[in-house]
Copies of this chain bind each other. A is one copy, B any other.
């Protein structure tokens, strides 16, 4: 059954691969499943056909036969539960990996997204210079705790899993900032994720959309 995902027709980050389809592409590359991509414009995303797939007008979505899913976390989890390669076999280790997926999305990502939202919507406000350090402090609290837990391990809990895939894509959102400079172990962790062949294939595939579009 063909897997079809959606992605931005035009890359908002000029091919840096921060859009959330990157997580799904990476997961599919890790488990060796081919997929098709349907590109959507910002206008199309808000129209009824797309809203039927994604009630909040976002990407990515995932279609496979009768199944239609949204939310990158849910899609990666579905792929990881359906195809071997992204979750441990042992039931307890599997549940812990899923807990780390939720932690990446619910505990680590929100303050990072707050920083991005402030950049977009508050940069011209007179409070911006005061707000940014408040958000950064919140991010650093999370990174302190995350790096404490990671220690000198390669991955969050044993072998590489969907947990690391998710956490690495969350940390990547900090690439443009100076914050990760203070967390060499997290920067190295992110680099390990990005060095995986599956990551590189996924990154190249999303970049190709942009370079093709800018010809």
Contacts and interface: CB of A to CB of B under 8 A. Distances in A.
Nearest to A98: B74
A187 to B, nearest CB: 19
A66 B95 contact: no
A145 B55 contact: yes
A149 B57 CA distance: 11
Contacts of A70: 99, 103
A140 to B, nearest CB: 13
Given A55-B149, A66-B92, A134 B113 contact: no
Contacts of A71: 99, 102-103, 106-107
Interface in A88-103: 92, 95-96, 98-99, 101-103
User: For the complex formed by this chain, how many copies does it contain in all?
Assistant: 2
A41 interface: no
11 contacts: A51-B145, A56-B107, A68-B96, A71-B107, A73-B102, A74-B98, A74-B99, A74-B103, A102-B105, A114-B114, A127-B131
Contacts of A149: 51, 55
A167 B90 CA distance: 30
A146 interface: yes
A99 B58 CA distance: 13
Nearest to A20: B106
Contacts of A125: 127, 130
